[in-house]
Amino acid sequence: MGVDDLRIEWNGGVRIEYKDAKVVLDSKRSSIKDSVFFVSHGHFDHSAAFRIKNAKKYSSKETLEIVSNFFSIKNSFSLSLKEKTTIGEVEVIPHNSGHVLGSFEYEVRAPEGIILYTGDFNTEKTKTMKPAEPVQCDVLIVEATFGSPSFVFPKVDEIGEDMVEWAGRVLKRGRIPFFRADPLGNAQEI
């Protein structure tokens, strides 16, 4: 088999084709035919595939439960960590990505090599998550919101201290402190 049999492209999501197998990871489009979709986690910028009515979709049980609170989930299946799914000659194996509850990175095994796809991920242990699992691969694809060096944040403990100090000042003024956060993940350490 030559490299001509394996094709990787960005097409509103990461699309991996090997012969007749078509795997799409974190699709942002709903018009990719004859594909099987894998969702890394429940944030809306990664879970649009759940809106595709007739296609097969896979994610963690937790991601399915979270996303089902926002729209109807059809033809979707949950995977456990390291549970292999075979599509033609391609195997897809989920691993922990360390990002939010139920988040996966996907190891895609084809005869020509191993591709690791991850959406957002975290390599450090936190109060709520174990770190992402390292996976040996030939190709690494990262599609992450906070991948830019411009997103360097203070340590969580520093942010927590700042929040407590701010809340104390607000309470002293007779007001109620209020923190706005997204429904999933961005405030999970607070």
Q: Are 103 and 185 found together in one domain?
A: no
Q: Are 107 and 157 found together in one domain?
A: no
- pTM for this predicted structure: 0.85
24 part of a folded domain? yes
Q: Are 160 and 105 found together in one domain?
A: no
Determine the pLDDT at residue 2. Answer: 46
State what percent of residues in the chain have pLDDT above 90.
Answer: 48
Q: Are 17 and 100 found together in one domain?
A: yes
Higher local confidence (pLDDT), 48 or 185: 48
Domain that holds residue 184: 153-190
Which pairs with CB-CB distance under 8 Å and at least 24 residues apart come from 83-90?
Answer: 85/36, 85/58, 87/21, 87/22, 87/23, 87/36, 88/18, 88/19, 88/20, 88/21, 89/18, 89/19, 89/21, 90/16, 90/18, 90/21, 90/23
Q: Would you call 51 helix, strand, or coil by DSSP?
A: helix
147 part of a folded domain? no
Six-digit token pair at 40? 């890394």
Cα separation, 120 vs 152, whole angstroms: 14
33 part of a folded domain? yes
154-161 average pLDDT score = 87
Task: Tell me the C-alpha to C-alpha distance, in Å, between residue 103 and each of 35, 126, 127, 144.
Answer: 21, 14, 15, 13
The pLDDT confidence band at residue 31, using thresholds 50, 70 and 90, is low
Q: Are 52 and 107 found together in one domain?
A: yes
Higher local confidence (pLDDT), 12 or 168: 168
Q: Are 105 and 177 found together in one domain?
A: no
- We report the CATH number of the domain holding residue 130 as 3.60.15.10
94 part of a folded domain? yes
State what percent of residues in the chain have pLDDT above 70.
Answer: 92
The C-alpha torsion from 179 through 98 and 68 to 115, rounded to 10°, is: 140
- Overall number of domains in the chain: 2
The pLDDT confidence band at residue 1, using thresholds 50, 70 and 90, is very low
Cα separation, 76 vs 54, whole angstroms: 10
Higher local confidence (pLDDT), 175 or 33: 175
Tokens 């020509």 correspond to what residue?
112
Determine the pLDDT at residue 32. Answer: 63
148 part of a folded domain? no
